[in-house]
Chains A and B, each alone.
Chain A
């Protein structure tokens, strides 16, 4: 599995350059304020943290409440199922799919232990968390995703699109309604656009990377929360174009074509795949998926045990839920991050 450049890529993804907000806050001092603490920098130094042997899974009791991204929903559900089967039968895990923002909203009210997110926490949300005094929290990277641009199988021309071309199609006020307007040489074929619902993290991420700002998008396209509808729509329209999470493309490869994206730095056309998402060449649409844990909850053995299980069996969980797993280097970093959190919570 290729995994060079992962660390750089990883940090790049966490670093929410768009509006300078930071999401990784883990402070024992509540007065630390909202100023972001990027933990990763310290990670390399603390590569070996000794941890006491964790309790056996069948000794764990209690409940874990997770809520957030619907993209991550299947992943967390799969993790909960495997965790329970591995012996943690007395841990009651609930996984809600209120969406990334909805999840943070509940998280910052102190209602949940874990918040699943397909984008980093926004500054505004962190302020609310602080105001509500929920204490510290910590973010972990749990899986990768390659946002995939899909077209109809009869589409013989759009093999590779650049960010500029995608933006021309999707930006606010765009009037592009025909493929011939996207690039000289494309045929005279009407474009029919399909996209995810506006309350999904996928929409936020795509619009931020393509149009420069989250939620900046034309609104006259067929939006659906149901990825199945995007698949049916694009496969039924010759001029269809849409975008969705990689796992849905993978499940419907026989009906759709994925468009390669021109890497803005190298100028190369890169197709979305497990490998290109993991090695960081699929830019700018590769992304990480996160789980946020509340500091107070993290002290509870069942919450800790569940997260430990995720990092011990990340590949199996990703496979079951049809997600792109972390690279060994990413996984290692997440584990170190986790061990640090364990150590911090033991104090």
Chain B
């Protein structure tokens, strides 16, 4: 009996330990970066363009571009993602082969490495349809990267709305679209918002596909949608690679900004989820 209790206790301790190690790594990462980056975190980072001299360098064009990309990704991925989710959840008949294919296809896309999207972006968006190496191309590629995630989370949110609500609507003579647009969709907004914000935060931290479409560029002016750009994570990558200690510090400072944006969005999403969690 005691042996059993000791084993049970040890097992529980191990479980807690594994969680503690994960948290410890998180704390180490955050604290380490803050300690290193805080001295370089000043207004200069937000107002100055990048420079070959670390004391003068900032990340203004990169920060702005990342915010623009956020808006673009949201504008593209939310309507397409939600529409796809509605189609799959509310309209598609599961027994049709093409609907099953759609579903598997989206699951597969969610697992395609981001860098492969970079190759796609280079071949089709930048060269194929001739958008060029501009901010819009970056926004489009990152939209494709996160679209599967948006679709999957929107579907989950729609699925969480119980059928009784739909049936109630139909019983009153509403069409399918009336039921969806006036009942199902409003009820699933918190879930869709949570999933979309998480997907968006992933898009903003994504670097690899942007490397392939030439975002590794010195851009000293405020970006435009159809102009050349560099994004915050790419700027960080650029600085990490430079030998000068001053740039290493700048990289840490820029990481703090990126983490503030990305983790801030995560926090909003998690808050939304817990605030509006509905039990039907």
Contacts of B133 in A (CB 8 A): 111
Taken residue by residue from 83 to 114, chain B's Cβ proximity to chain A (1 for < 8 Å, 0 otherwise) reads as 00000000000000000000000000000000
Which positions 9-58 of chain B face chain A at CB distance < 8 Å? 50-53
How far apart sit A73 and B133, CA to CA, in the bound complex (Å)? 18
Contact A81 B242, CB 8 Å, known A92-B227, A94-B228, A95-B217:
no
Contacts of B227 in A (CB 8 A): 63, 92
How far apart sit A24 and B242, CA to CA, in the bound complex (Å)? 32
- A12 within 8 Å of B by Cβ? no
Q: Which bucket holds chain B's interface residue count?
A: 10 to 19
Q: How many A-B residue pairs have CB under 8 A?
A: 56
- A309 within 8 Å of B by Cβ? no
Contact B214 A98 (CB under 8 A): yes
Contact A81 B216 (CB under 8 A): no
Closest to A89 in B: B221
Contact partner of B214 (CB less than 8 A), chosen from A77, A96, A228, A248, is: A96
Smallest CB separation, B250 vs chain A (Å): 14
- A321 within 8 Å of B by Cβ? yes
Contact B221 A92 (CB under 8 A): yes
Which positions 227-254 of chain B face chain A at CB distance < 8 Å? 227-228, 241-244
Contacts of B214 in A (CB 8 A): 67, 96, 98, 106
Closest to B221 in A: A92
Contact B241 A225 (CB under 8 A): yes
Contacts of A271 in B (CB 8 A): none
How far apart sit A225 and B219, CA to CA, in the bound complex (Å)? 21
- A293 within 8 Å of B by Cβ? no
Contacts of A231 in B (CB 8 A): 243
How far apart sit A321 and B214, CA to CA, in the bound complex (Å)? 23
- B220 within 8 Å of A by Cβ? yes
Contact A74 B216 (CB under 8 A): no
Contact B241 A320 (CB under 8 A): no
- A14 within 8 Å of B by Cβ? no
Contact A97 B52 (CB under 8 A): no
Contact partner of A77 (CB less than 8 A), chosen from B52, B132, B221, B244, is: B52
- B218 within 8 Å of A by Cβ? yes
Which positions 57-85 of chain A face chain B at CB distance < 8 Å? 63, 65, 67, 73-74, 76-78, 80-81, 84
- A226 within 8 Å of B by Cβ? yes
Closest to B126 in A: A111
Known interface pairs A80-B220, A92-B227, A94-B217; 14 further A-B residue pairs with C-beta atoms within 8 A, sorted by A's residue number = A77-B51, A78-B52, A84-B220, A92-B221, A93-B220, A94-B228, A96-B218, A97-B216, A111-B132, A225-B241, A226-B243, A228-B241, A251-B244, A252-B243
CB within 8 Å of A: which residues of B?
Answer: 50-53, 132-133, 214, 216-221, 227-228, 241-244
